[in-house]
Amino acid sequence: MYYFDASFFSLMPNIPYGWQQKGATLELESARSKSLKALGFLRRDNTFTPYVVEGSINSFVVVEVFEDFIASLDPKRKKVFIIDNAPVHTSEYFQLYEAHWKAQNVKICHLSTYSPELNLIEILWRFVKYQWLPWDAYLSFERLEENLWDVFLNVGKKFTISFG
């Protein structure tokens, strides 16, 4: 079973709180920037397969990512994907591929509307944004991309989530 979703990363930092010494000022400039869109497949054992794009995410991109990922899996084993009901996941184009994938032993399970807490990959995105990315990742777009890949490639090793 795989949990699938996408998230966005830019130079607008995601820092929910911070500590500093009395009288000291810590500053982190915030700026609009191009963004990285991350799509990923996550299993409960912290196996994570990321895809990163700079353009927009539409049904064509999502289908292309699914096609690539499904091709990397054992064709004899049943595969189940948990996804939300974002418009790119419910489009006519995506639904055409759902029928195609069904013949490849793939089942797509759409979550109930307004229930992102049921998609475990949402926990991963929260950890990446609020805990695992260092604050200095936001100093430049290149650093953001470099640090993001460092996190993504180390999920399940250096960065783990206990799903209980």
* CB 39, CB 64: distance < 8 Å: no
Could you tell me if residue 41 is inside a domain? yes
Number of domains in the chain: 1
Domain that holds residue 117: 2-10+34-153
Q: Consecutive sets of 10 residues in the chain, 164 residues long: mean pLDDT of each?
A: 95 64 71 85 97 92 97 95 94 95 95 87 95 90 96 97 86
Distance of alpha carbon 44 from the chain centroid: 14
Q: Tell me which long-range contacts 110-116 makes (C-beta under 8 A, separation of at least 24).
A: 110/83, 110/84, 110/85, 111/82, 111/83, 111/84, 111/85, 113/85, 115/84, 116/84
What pLDDT does 34 receive?
83
Q: Is residue 24 part of a domain?
A: no
Does 16 map to a domain? no
Helices (H), 29-134: 59-71, 87-90, 92-102, 121-127
Query: Cα separation of 104 and 59, whole Å?
Result: 20
pLDDT of residue 23: 81
CATH code, 38: 3.30.420.10
Answer for the pair 38, 6: CB distance below 8 angstroms, yes or no.
Answer: yes
Confirm whether 22 is domain-assigned. no
| Distance of alpha carbon 67 from alpha carbon 80, whole angstroms | 14
Q: Is residue 51 assigned to a domain?
A: yes
Output the six-digit token pair for 116.
């992102």
Residue-level pLDDT at 123 = 95
Does the residue 162 lie in any domain? no
Residue 21 domain-assigned (yes or no):
no
Supply the pLDDT for residue 78. 96
| Domain-located, residue 101 | yes
pLDDT number for residue 31 = 60
Residue 33: HSE in the Cβ half-sphere, 13 Å Cα cutoff: 21
